[in-house]
Amino acid sequence: MDFSLEQSEVSLKEDIRGFAEQEIPHNWIVNFLDEESRDEDWAFSLSISRKLAQKGWLVMNWPKKYGGCDASWVKYTVFAMAAAYYGIPGLSMGVSGTGWIGPSLMLYGNEDQRQRYLPEIASGSPDGIWCTGYSEPNSGSDFASIKTRAVRQSGEYVVNGQKIWTSCAHRARWCWLAVKTGDSEARAQDSISILIVDMRSPGITVKPLLNYSGEHIFNEVFFDDVRVPLGNLVGEENRGWYQLMKSLVYERNSFGGQSYGTSKRILDSLVRYAGETCRAGKTIAKDPVIRHRLAENAVEIDILKMFLYEIAWKMDVGMAPLYESSRNKAMADHVLEKIALTGTEILGSSCQVAQRSKMARLNGLIQRQYLMFPGNAIAAGTDEIEKNIIGKFKLGLPRSY
Amino acid sequence: MDFNYTEQQLMLRSIARDFLSRECPRSAVRLLEKDEKGYDPVIWQRMAELGWLGLVLPEIYGGMEAGFMELVVLMEEIGRNILPGPYFATVALAALPVLEYGNEVQKSLYLPPIARGEKIWTLAAEEADAGSDFNAMITYACPDGDGYCLNGGKTFVPYAAAADYMLVPALVPSDKENGLTLFIVEPSLMGVKVELVPTLTGENLGSIRFRGVRLAEKDILGGLGRAEVIMENMLEKAGLLKCAEVSGACQAVLDMSSAYAQERVQFGHPIGAFQTIQHRLVDMLTSVEGLKYLVYQAAWLMSVGLPCSEQVAMAKVKANDVYQNVALAGVKIHGAIGFSQDHDIGLYYRRALASRFFPYSNDHYLEKIAGHIGL
């Protein structure tokens, strides 16, 4: 065993710090899921995506021929952790070109599709922004029950149906869409396909759905006789469910590095805040309750780090992750929740002040996280679904649902 | 980055797992809880033959010269099987500090018999009214002629009744200040009285009285007034090895509970099909894996000589909580049978209480982490 980082990985962290100091305003605190809400935030995020691409960081772990740098998963994890720590936006190319649509195309797409779509993502171009159409009004955790259907008609697919909770649909150029293609007698899992859909196609309507803090992150997306070329099928028809089960490994894992960086940033900020804040004549950093709470968070955050390195190393040596990304997703959610709640306890009533208010402490970091962590914990599989997966695939327990 | 075990570590683990399950079944564990010395000399001798007692000692002292990581792997297996006996006391609490701080005479005198399985050691540090607070200790070694005269008492001493030697921190009064000094003491000396402390955890502990015990200059380990520094260092290593032992035990509890959840049928289904049980097992798994990696991280840092006291503290905080939570969840998943004497799970639940406070409880380590993160 050897848990050291290579010299290039250590210096990458430094480079990212330098990049952030130069490019990111000091009052910039936006979570990686809400950069698509306000137009000015979005424009700024896109400009950073472009710069990250020019640095060779955006998709550094992709092969060179698709715009990457052939970097290891470990190095990419170092990047994702540090980028989130320094609050760098624009890492995902929608939801998410870098996280799973790119990796899935490399797994299941044909060469034409890879050549067509991967460089757009890799270059940080607005045409490389994706959204993911999985959830439907009556198909959340029970994904296989989706109803949106694609029918072959005169050399095209014709898509009808509705998706919901589609993050970034209002910004995306492309949709990674799960549809029913099999006949109605087929097993649900054997009748799903993945299509690449141009979001500018006639028949697509995107309606905003605001979240509880009033931000526009997700949407309803309606498909009315949307025509999609047959060549936009990814992988095999009716094998989409099986493809997705594998590519969800990437989706779930892709949140981990960012969750780690965000949590570590909050921890360090709270430590600094505790050292600067006086109550009853001494700093609250001397209060044993606060010391222990923050120390407990440090332990959990360090475990997340080890989990992330473990799965990255496994992918680097060619071991296919099975349950690990579900474990990491659940752990990341737990860590984000714990540090956000610890933060509210330490800030007290000031944590309810609007994020951009002058009265907000720590730049609104804590309230931001308090609002965002429940969403993170639902996206890409709820805690309960992740635990079902771990129970079945790692512990070999019977299906529980 | 490399999460692989070496060939040597995998071999050691597989041999240890086979040996321990064959030679020390849990029925033997139960019997030995009632034994005054708390270990089986036959198993002990076999362990010496396997090279375990001198695993990390240099060859010149009869050791195998394996690394700290190998010792961690072995401690995991010992914890997994709850091997009763003074292995941890002899190796972690004595052989390692003697190797690190002993002079050449002491090392050649004391280490080879440890490696051969002939001598058992322990650490007698805690005092009834001082806990692990060095400043409150009242065991004194007063200069007396050309030596020292030891008076006082220690308690919660692991395997006190089995030990041939013990390391004893005692205060040596001097002109300047009390200098806490580590002495090598033979319990067979005049004035030493050992008494068993009955425990409910299955841990073999004793109390020791020292009344006018004559010690010599040569019995000092690491120099006059050096005990605090030595203890800090040795308890960091020993604390981490304790975490490895706990990590192995937690894995065993998880394996047993997960297997039971698949075979126990209620309401027409294996109980592992119920989400309450399944998610409880998954929480156990995540915490056990988290503990394992914190232990490996700290052990790797230690083995390459990098600072690791923050990471050791993290591992110990996690070890304390995970063992208790996992053992409790294990008992609950087993239901009434888990609460019975005949079932193995209770052995772990009871021991979780013993390891929690050695060498220190969570408050001590959380305080340490708080310092490291900048508070």
In this prediction, residue A379 carries a pLDDT of 87
A387 and B278 within 8 Å at the Cβ level: the answer is yes
Interface with chain B: mutation pick from A78, A299, A393, highest number of B CBs within 10 Å: A299
Query: Within an 8 Å CB–CB cutoff, is residue B255 touching chain A?
Result: no
A397 and B294 within 8 Å at the Cβ level: the answer is no
* Residue A6: C-alpha distances to residues A61, A85, A316 (Å): 15, 20, 14
Interface with chain A: mutation pick from B282, B296, B308, highest number of A CBs within 10 Å: B282
Measured at the alpha carbon of residue B172, what is the angle toward residues B187 and B166, in degrees to the nearest 5? 20
Structure tokens at A310: 């473990």
B278 closest CA partner among A245, A396, A381: A396
Alpha-carbon span B255 to B261, nearest angstrom: 10
Q: What is the ipTM of this complex?
A: 0.96
A390 and B317 within 8 Å at the Cβ level: the answer is no
* Residue A251: C-alpha distances to residues A59, A100, A254, A329 (Å): 15, 5, 5, 9
Residue A32 pLDDT > 70: no
Q: How close B138 comes to chain A (CA, Å)?
A: 28
Interface with chain B: mutation pick from A273, A308, A395, highest number of B CBs within 10 Å: A395
For residue B241, the one-letter residue type is L
Beta-sheet pairing, A278-279 with A282-283? antiparallel
A140-155 pLDDT tens trace = 999 999 999 999 999 9
Q: Which residue has the tokens 């803090």?
A: A213
In this prediction, residue A155 carries a pLDDT of 94
Of A1, A267, A274, the CB nearest to B300: A1
Q: Are A355 and A214 in contact (CB under 8 A)?
A: no
Of A5, A268, A397, the CB nearest to B261: A397
Q: Is the peptide bond before A96 cis (omega within 30 degrees of 0)?
A: yes
Q: Quick one: how many helices (H) and strands (E) in chain A?
A: 11, 10
Question: Which is the CATH superfamily of the domain at B7-119?
Answer: Acyl-CoA dehydrogenase/oxidase, N-terminal domain (1.10.540.10)
Alpha-carbon span A79 to B54, nearest angstrom: 43
Query: Within an 8 Å CB–CB cutoff, is residue B367 touching chain A?
Result: yes
> How many CB atoms within 10 Å of residue A64?
10
Residue A182 pLDDT > 80: yes
Q: Which residue has the tokens 């001494």?
A: A282
Alpha-carbon span A26 to A55, nearest angstrom: 21
Question: Which is the CATH superfamily of the domain at B228-372?
Answer: Butyryl-CoA Dehydrogenase, subunit A, domain 3 (1.20.140.10)
Percent of chain A residues topping a pLDDT of 90: 87
Q: Residue range A385-390: average pLDDT?
A: 94
B369 and A312 within 8 Å at the Cβ level: the answer is no
Q: Are A68 and A97 in contact (CB under 8 A)?
A: no
* A350 contact partners, CB below 8 Å, separation of at least 6: A359, A360, A361
Q: How close B79 comes to chain A (CA, Å)?
A: 21
**B257: nearest CA partner in chain A:** A395
Where in chain A do CATH 2.40.110.10 domains reside? 131-237
**A273: nearest CA partner in chain B:** B375
* Residue A160: C-alpha distances to residues A133, A199, B342, B374 (Å): 13, 14, 62, 57
In this prediction, residue A320 carries a pLDDT of 85
Query: Within an 8 Å CB–CB cutoff, is residue B339 touching chain A?
Result: no
Neighboring chain A residues of B293 at a CB cutoff of 8 Å: 303, 306-307, 310
Alpha-carbon span B123 to B86, nearest angstrom: 11
Helix or strand run (H / E) with residue A161 = strand A156-163
SS3 content of chain A, % helix, strand, coil (to 5): 50, 15, 30
Where in chain A do CATH 1.20.140.10 domains reside? 255-393
A225-260: buried (b, 16+ CB within 10 Å) or exposed (e) per residue? Answer: ebbbeeebbbbebbbbbebbeebbbbbbbbbbbbbb
> How many CB atoms within 10 Å of residue B373?
17
Q: Is the peptide bond before B359 cis (omega within 30 degrees of 0)?
A: yes
Beta-sheet pairing, A149-153 with A156-163? antiparallel
Q: Residue range A240-257: average pLDDT?
A: 86
Query: Within an 8 Å CB–CB cutoff, is residue B361 touching chain A?
Result: no
pLDDT tens-digit profile, chain B (375 residues):
999 999 999 999 999 999 999 999 988 999 999 899 999 999 999 999 999 999 999 999 999 999 999 999 999 999 999 999 999 999 999 999 999 999 999 999 999 999 999 999 999 999 988 876 778 889 999 999 999 999 999 999 999 999 999 999 999 987 666 689 999 999 999 999 999 999 999 899 999 999 999 999 999 999 999 999 999 999 999 999 999 999 999 999 999 999 999 999 999 999 999 999 999 999 999 999 999 999 999 999 999 999 999 999 999 999 999 999 999 999 999 999 999 998 999 999 999 999 998 888 899 999 999 999 999
The pTM of the full predicted model, rounded to 2 decimals, is 0.96
A8-27 pLDDT tens trace = 999 999 999 999 999 999 88
Residue A315 pLDDT > 90: yes
A299 and B370 within 8 Å at the Cβ level: the answer is no
A334-377 pLDDT tens trace = 999 999 999 999 999 999 998 888 899 998 999 999 999 999 88
Of B3, B294, B318, the CB nearest to A1: B3
Q: How close A307 comes to chain B (CA, Å)?
A: 7
In this prediction, residue A381 carries a pLDDT of 87
Q: Which residue has the tokens 């095999």?
A: A236
B290 and A5 within 8 Å at the Cβ level: the answer is no
Alpha-carbon span A336 to A278, nearest angstrom: 26
* A318 contact partners, CB below 8 Å, separation of at least 6: none
Neighboring chain A residues of B257 at a CB cutoff of 8 Å: none
* Residue A78: C-alpha distances to residues A7, A57, A179, A372 (Å): 12, 11, 35, 23
Of A291, A327, A388, the CB nearest to B375: A291
B314 and A298 within 8 Å at the Cβ level: the answer is yes
Architecture of the domain made up of A255-393:
Up-down Bundle (1.20)
In this prediction, residue A249 carries a pLDDT of 83
Q: Which residue has the tokens 């990250």?
A: A52
B209-222 pLDDT tens trace = 999 999 999 999 99
Q: Which residue has the tokens 């019995």?
A: B219
In this prediction, residue A380 carries a pLDDT of 84
Neighboring chain B residues of A316 at a CB cutoff of 8 Å: 1
Query: Within an 8 Å CB–CB cutoff, is residue B200 touching chain A?
Result: no
> How many CB atoms within 10 Å of residue B80?
23
Q: How close B199 comes to chain A (CA, Å)?
A: 30
Query: Within an 8 Å CB–CB cutoff, is residue B108 touching chain A?
Result: no
In this prediction, residue B178 carries a pLDDT of 67
In this prediction, residue B350 carries a pLDDT of 95
Neighboring chain A residues of B269 at a CB cutoff of 8 Å: 398
Q: Where are the domains of chain B?
A: 7-119, 123-225, 228-372
B224-245 pLDDT tens trace = 999 999 999 999 999 999 999 9
| Coil/strand/helix, residue A247 | helix
3-state SS track over chain B: CECCCCHHHHHHHHHHHHHHHHHCCHHHHHHHHCCCCCCCHHHHHHHHHCCCCCCCCCHHHCCCCCCHHHHHHHHHHHHHCCCCCCHHHHHHHHHHHHHHHCCHHHHHHHHHHHHCCCCCEEECCCECCCECCHHHCCCEEEEECCEEEEEEEEEEEECCCCCCEEEEEEEECCCCCCEEEEEEECCCCCCEEEEEECCCCCCCEEEEEEEEEEEEHHHEECCCCCHHHHHHHHHHHHHHHHHHHHHHHHHHHHHHHHHHHHHCEECCEEHHHCHHHHHHHHHHHHHHHHHHHHHHHHHHHHHCCCCCHHHHHHHHHHHHHHHHHHHHHHHHHHHHHHHCCCCCHHHHHHHHHHHHCCCCCHHHHHHHHHHHCCC
Neighboring chain B residues of A3 at a CB cutoff of 8 Å: 1-2, 296-297, 300-301
The dihedral region occupied by A161, where left means phi > 0, alpha psi between -120 and 50, and beta the remainder, is left
Alpha-carbon span A60 to A71, nearest angstrom: 5
In this prediction, residue B278 carries a pLDDT of 97
Q: Are A197 and A152 in contact (CB under 8 A)?
A: no
Q: How close B273 comes to chain A (CA, Å)?
A: 5
Q: How close A292 comes to chain B (CA, Å)?
A: 6
Q: Exposed (0-12), middle (13-18) or buried (19+): which is B45, by Cβ within 10 Å? A: middle
Interface with chain B: mutation pick from A331, A397, A401, highest number of B CBs within 10 Å: A397
Q: How close A395 comes to chain B (CA, Å)?
A: 7
Q: How close A62 comes to chain B (CA, Å)?
A: 19
| Coil/strand/helix, residue A37 | coil
CATH 2.40.110.10 fits B123-225, yes or no: yes
Q: How close A225 comes to chain B (CA, Å)?
A: 41
**B297: nearest CA partner in chain A:** A3
Class at the top of the CATH hierarchy for domain A131-237: mainly beta
Alpha-carbon span B70 to B303, nearest angstrom: 10
A38 closest CA partner among A261, A208, A263: A208
